[in-house]
Amino acid sequence: MKHTSEDAFAPPPTGFEPVQIGGAFATHNGPLYARWHDERLQLGFRVGPQHVNPGQSCHGGMLGMFADILISTAAQYQADIPRQFLPTISLQMDFMANAPLGSWVQGRADILKVTRNLVFSQGLVQADGQTVLRASGVFKRGPLLPDTASDHGLRLPGMPQRAS
């Protein structure tokens, strides 16, 4: 799909809401959007001018940050664990295609295994429906996250609410 510079400012697809997750770094590099769909958390963002490399495609660093947040955050809502800080131990990524300026990037994750100390997960990221990145990661189960204005628990339409 060919994009114009105006596409970089198009709204997200239906059902996606702006979210603040991943701390100040992610907020600065966003905006990020989320929705609950088919029993999974989906995250997304529109590739804007601040996200591109000299080739006018989404920078690999932005896609890496997005994948890291996607597959760790999904664990907090798709697995039976409390909301807790999940620092990254390892993150593997395979870049499969580019995400041009203006494209809608979204991803979903699968939680593979949760142990007392670790979470293993993987995800696929697509741009306008084409897979652009495959990622897998291992995360350490850290301290519980407080509900604050900058890092609140997600409450998305259709998402089951868990006891805190």
Instruction: State yes or no: pLDDT of 150 exceeds 50.
Output: no
Among 6-10, 31-35, 89-93, the minimum mean pLDDT is found in 6-10
CB-based burial of residue 39 (10 Å sphere; 0-12 exposed, 13-18 middle, 19+ buried)?
exposed
pLDDT digits (tens, 9 = 90+) for 131-143: 999 999 999 999 9
Instruction: State yes or no: pLDDT of 118 exceeds 70.
Output: yes
- Domains of the chain are 5-140 (3.10.129.10)
Question: 45 — alpha (psi -120 to 50), left (phi > 0) or beta?
Answer: beta
pTM of the model: 0.89
